[in-house]
Amino acid sequence: MTVPVAIVTGGARGIGQSITARLLDDGYAVGVIDVNAKALAALAPEVDARGGRLSAHEASVSDRSAVQAVVDELLAVHGSLDAVVNNAGMTLPATFLDQDDADWDRIVDVNLKGTFVVAQLAARQMVEQGRGSIVNISSVSAHGVRTGPPAYAAAKAGVEGLSRLMAVQLGPLGVRVNTIVVGTTATPWLLGRKSDDELDAMRATTLTGRIGDPDDIAATVAFLCSDASRHIVGQMISVSGGQWMP
């Protein structure tokens, strides 16, 4: 029986870790790309438990040669590449008036260039196969829903524009591209940095009265990677509790 194969970037932590777990539970072989060596090391027991269906790769998504090496390894082991989730991202605190060039370049490099690099290398293989699904992760920050560093908002808006172009050019070749616009989500990073009052204020910005859970994002990713969404392409799906509505 052929096992579908996926890449999840930033897949060792937070939302990415939930996406990885969900795709594994759905029967995928998953290659995780992450720059956090400690988080990747923590996956070791899961790597052993999954019997070869999970592999961990320390690499930057903006490093073309490193990403290509991961793609080549997965193809050598599994023979195909069926889904890619561009989840890796980073940000640094700043306002429009104090964002510096170095931080701008770093944030855009990971969030936007990294999405381009991973998607392009994966898409070349998918076009050759005649099938594949790419899911890019954006943020409500691209739509002015919450304040933050301008580089992050700009990069995520760029991801959405890139996703549309990818959908138009790759759809006729058998590769579906969709975008998930993520709202405030209860990752360990967020919960460890916000007070109860701050979390309550975040809940009040949603229509559901709750902060998103990483599993909410993972479930949507799983749907978009599956044949159940075979007629969905070029869409932005907001998983934000109504913080932003397309």
Catalytic residues: 152
**% helix, strand, coil for the chain, step of 5:** 50, 15, 35
- Could you count the other beta carbons within 10 Å of the beta carbon of residue 243? 22
**β-strand 29-34 against 54-58: which pairing, if any?**
parallel
- Which pair of tokens denotes residue 90? 């980073």
DSSP string, 10-66: TTTSHHHHHHHHHHHHTT-EEEEEES-HHHHHHTHHHHHHTTTSEEEEE--TT-HHH
Query: Which residues in 91-120 are b (16+ Cβ under 10 Å) and which e?
Result: beebeeeebeeebbebbbbbbbbbbbbbbe
